[in-house]
Structure 1
Amino acid sequence: MSSLPTPDLLSASVFYHPSLFPHSVWSALEKDPRSSNIIYATAAKIAKADASLEPCNLWAVCKIAGQDSEVIFILSCTRGPIGDYPIFIYTPLSRAVLTDDFLYLPMLSMVRALQAHVPPERVFSVFALDAVADKFAATWTAETGVRLADQPTYYHAKLLCCTKATIGNIVHEENTSVQIRRARAADVSALARLCHGFASTSEPFVLSEQQALYEASMLIHNGETWIYAIPGRQAGHEVEITCMVAVTRTTETVSAITKVFTAPNWRGHGHAQHLVHFVCASLLQEKESIVLYVAHNNHAAEKVYRRVGFADHSSSRDDLLADSWKELGFDREVAQLGHW
């Protein structure tokens, strides 16, 4: 698609449950399951749970009407285990067509659909491709009067992907005292400390100690976390957990690493690299690819991920230059901060 959408052909529909999605929505998500992972995995999880309609969840779908009725944007406004998620927006379109002029009408239609169903304080941030996030934020401010936060860029990152073809051949040290495994119930306190530490580096999405303990409990219960553990150096502690990797978004073909954190006193020992590689190698036995976002300014982490085998998501040079993702936050005197 390259021509500008016109008002008479553009439509935005709102759904309160993924079971109500038409086939065209699922097809759009499956067109690029790596880029759509945030929305796709959450929708698939809710659909699989067969939960009742939740007023806190909704999806706005923007279509170009016509013979094939093409889905061009999907927006999600959903809630996670700790709080409301940001507004997430996915598009199956090439990054090259996402000009300011092209985006005007689709963003306006989705902003108005969202505005009709949720109060302005619910929209505390938006995460999408740079151009999409910028246009949504400008449109939301114009339509609601809610301005961006004083320091609006909460997160600015690139999407990386690891597959069987790219994963590196990292040799894990033969040390029988080292444990690389899924976290267990007995690990909850140590894991909570790592969750708390990770959140403390993710302003403004910090967690209290109680919230971190709840998050750790949920991650263990769902089997979504792996840990790197060494023999404990303190009396009464059999192991010391030095690093964690969480994988909380999964679809049929793609899993997403959503949290990697090493205890400050154990950095520089290669624990994260070994743990991330182990998790990827394990998941790639069933999945086609593993994805993660890494901040543009987090060069140390990106170096580790690329050693493991992560590469840029897009193979197209035009898309690669534009495949940058941004989270913009809104005025926190109005918006009620959630968590992701």
Structure 2
Amino acid sequence: MPGLNSPVRYFDRTNIPKDVWDVLRAHAARANVILPHAEKVSSHPEFLPDSEQLWMVYSEPGTSKIRFILSCTEGPLGTYPIFIVPTAPIVELIPELLQSPMEALCYALLNEANVRRQRVFSVFSVQPVAEAFASAWGKIAEIDCIKQPYYDAIFTMCTQCTLETSVLAVAPSEEEVIELRLAVPQDVDKISSLCQEFANTSHPFILTSEQASKEASLLIENGQVWVYEIEDAGGETDIASIVAVTRESNAVAAITKVYTPQKWGRKGRAERLVRRVCRELLKTHEQVVLYVGADNHAKKLYNRVGFQGLSEGSPPIDGVEKWLEIGFDRAEVELGHW
């Protein structure tokens, strides 16, 4: 454990203090990778009772000002990456100011009895923080980072003011009967298959059939997945697209999975479902957020729905940031899943 003068504090699910909650909720959009899970495991002791749930806070030395919140936590399908949420604006996150905090967090992780060095399989944060942590961890834990990021993403958001309700880029066929709805238990097999297909596009975080079935069941049970159900002219029904919303706090909801199998693609179905889900979520939340790959053609879809900062040549927008997931040598670590 850190000494009395250390800028790093540790917390488990039972003792997160008010000042940490206040900071997380004040940065609810950026903290979406940490806040909803922390709220759930802290308020529901029965949820994953024997799992690893650890948070660390780095405060500016000599002050109580929280600069970084790190999570080393676990979900139903396995351990999560190291998530780090900074509280400073992106322009202040320069390498020379990041080295000392990231090194302190790395040493704190290595000194925590319940965290083995193999546990840290990747880090996900805004680009400068992810790069600084990966560099520090590589030196201190002596595990090389993988040069090509697992995920190079843009963090973006949609609000009531930006939600676009215009006509789809591609209108649905008049021949198909359509229902956009929350999934029900009878959908589990189809959603399981789609979850596994989606994971196969997110190497190395693939799912076995058993894991995909577990994920689908949890999504349905928790009311976290929407489906685009179609019935063709022959009377056959299928799920043409899914949208999952798995991280919700009071003010912010995150779309965390959007998938359309190839046979149903390029017909505007995902766009229509995402727009519907956003419309529903914005009835009770201030923002809907998501991450989209920097080279993902889905940026155009999300831009049409109303997510900000995704159009070519658009000026910088406050809160729209580049995030990276940087992995570590897979021969040295134990992969989790998120």
TM-score (norm 2): 0.90
1:249 corresponds in structure 2 to: 247
Q: Which of 139, 155, 161 is the aligned partner of 2:157?
A: 161
Structure 2 residue 308 is the aligned partner of structure 1 residue 297 = no
- Shift of residue 212 of structure 1? 1.0
Deviation readout 1:52-97 (Å, 9 max, x if unpaired): 8756110111012556x11100000111111110000001111111
Q: Matched residues in 2 for 1:113 and 1:318: separation? A: 34
Per the TM alignment, residue 203 of structure 1 is displaced from its structure 2 partner at its CA by 0.7
- Structure 2: runs of 5 or more not aligned: none
Contact 1:121-1:336 within 8 A present in 2 as well = yes
Match of 1:16 in 2: 12
Q: Residues 174 and 287 (structure 1 numbering): CA distance in 2 closer, same or farther, change over 3 Å?
A: farther
* In 2: Cα distance, 1:232 partner to 1:182 partner: 20
For 1:294-333, what aligned pairs fall within 5 Å after superposition?
294-298=292-296, 300-312=297-309, 317=316, 323-333=321-331
User: Distance between the aligned counterparts of 1:318 and 1:311, measured in 2?
Assistant: 7
Equivalent in the alignment of 1:187: 187
* 1:153 alignment partner, SS class: coil
- Which of 32, 41, 55 is matched with 1:37 structurally? 32
Which amino acid letter does the alignment assign opposite residue 177 of structure 1?
A: V
Answer whether contact 2:156 2:319 (CA < 8 A) is retained. Answer: no
- Quote how far apart the aligned CAs of 1:49 are: 1.0
How far apart are the structure 2 equivalents of 1:229 and 1:174?
Answer: 13
Displacement, 1:48? 2.1
Q: What pairs up with 1:6-85 in 2 under 5 angstroms?
A: 11-17=7-13, 19-51=14-46, 54=50, 56-66=52-62, 69-85=64-80
Residues 1:145 and 2:160 are matched in the alignment:
no
* Cα deviation digits, residues 18-64 of structure 1 (max 9, x gap): x4122221121122211110101110111221348756110111012
Asked if 2 retains the 8 angstrom alpha-carbon contact of 1:94 and 1:319, the reply is no
Asked if 1:86 corresponds to 2:84, the answer is no
Alignment of 1:110-259 (within 5 A): 110-117=105-112, 118-149=115-146, 151-171=147-167, 177-231=177-231, 239-259=237-257
Amino acid at match of 1:335: V
- What secondary structure sits across from 1:178 in the alignment? strand
Q: Is the 8 A contact 2:58 2:67 kept in 1?
A: yes
Cα distance in 1 for residues equivalent to 2:261 and 2:121: 30
Q: Is the 8 A contact 1:79 1:85 kept in 2?
A: yes
2-structure distance, mates of 1:184, 1:208:
22
Once the two structures are TM-superposed, the CA of residue 209 in structure 1 deviates from its matched residue by 1.7
Shift of 1:14: 0.9
Per the alignment, in what secondary structure is the counterpart of residue 165 of structure 1? coil
Within the candidate set 95, 99, 102, 1:104 is matched to 99
Asked if the contact 2:309/2:316 (under 8 Å) is kept, the reply is no
Measure the CA separation in 2 of the matches of 1:101 and 1:163: 35
Structure 1 window deviating more from structure 2 (217-226 vs 168-177): it is: 168-177
- Which segment drifts farther, 22-31 or 116-125? 22-31
Change (3 A) 1:174 1:238: closer
In 2, Cα distance between the equivalents of 1:306 and 1:55? 38
1:334 corresponds in structure 2 to: 332
- CA distance in 1: counterparts of 2:5 and 2:280, whole angstroms: 46
Cα separation, 2, equivalents of 1:85 and 1:152: 19
Distance 1:335 1:233, change over 3 A: farther
> What is the count of residue pairs matched by the alignment?
326
**Shift of residue 319, structure 1, vs aligned partner:** 5.9
Query: Judging changes above 3 Å, is the alpha-carbon distance between structure 1 residues 119 and 30 closer, same or farther for their aligned structure 2 residues?
Result: same
1:174 CA displacement: 10
Structure 1 residue matching 2:216: 3-state secondary structure: helix
Q: Which sections of structure 1, spanning at least 5 residues, go unmatched? A: 1-6
Classify 1:211/1:23 alpha carbon distance in 2 versus 1 (closer, same or farther; 3 Å). same
Report % sequence identity.
39
In structure 2, what is the equivalent of residue 276 of structure 1?
274
Shift of 1:320: 6.5
